[in-house]
Amino acid sequence: MPESEMPTYLFPLVILLSLGLLMTGIGMILNLRILGRLGRLEKAISQSSKSRGVRETPEAEPSSAETSQGGAFETFLSEDPARLRLSKAEQFAAYRQWRDDKGLNWSNS
């Protein structure tokens, strides 16, 4: 038997290893394509939300019912006079925290 010939029982093993490497390569290529598409989608979503001026909910202003005369917002401000010196954004953030601490938010029920 010449040295260059492979035994016949190794052919299926070589074929299976080759197919495994080929499938792994194809899987890696597909994963890279999916990651690229996902990155472009995330970038598009973040740009569209910035262009529409979407603000996060903690920075949103209280509704008119919350800020009406004798409402919870006035109670919040009257509890600590230092809160009146805060900027509006800081007041709203502190108010939301105050409501959360008092259990006045729906999410706590």
**Using CA atoms, how far apart are residues 105 and 50, in angstroms rounded to an integer?**
28
Burial letters 94-103, b for 16+ CB under 10 A, else e: ebbebbeeee
Return the DSSP state at 53.
Answer: T
Q: Output the pLDDT for position 49.
A: 77
The rounded percent of the chain whose pLDDT value lies above 70 is 77
Q: pLDDT tens digits, residue range 41-73?
A: 999 998 887 777 655 555 566 666 555 666 788
More confident site: 68 or 9? 9
Structure token pair of residue 60: 């949103």
Q: Is the pLDDT of residue 36 over 80?
A: yes
Given pLDDT bands bounded at 50, 70 and 90, which one contains residue 16?
A: very high
Q: Is the pLDDT of residue 99 over 60?
A: yes
Q: Is the pLDDT of residue 95 over 70?
A: yes
Amino acid at 3: E
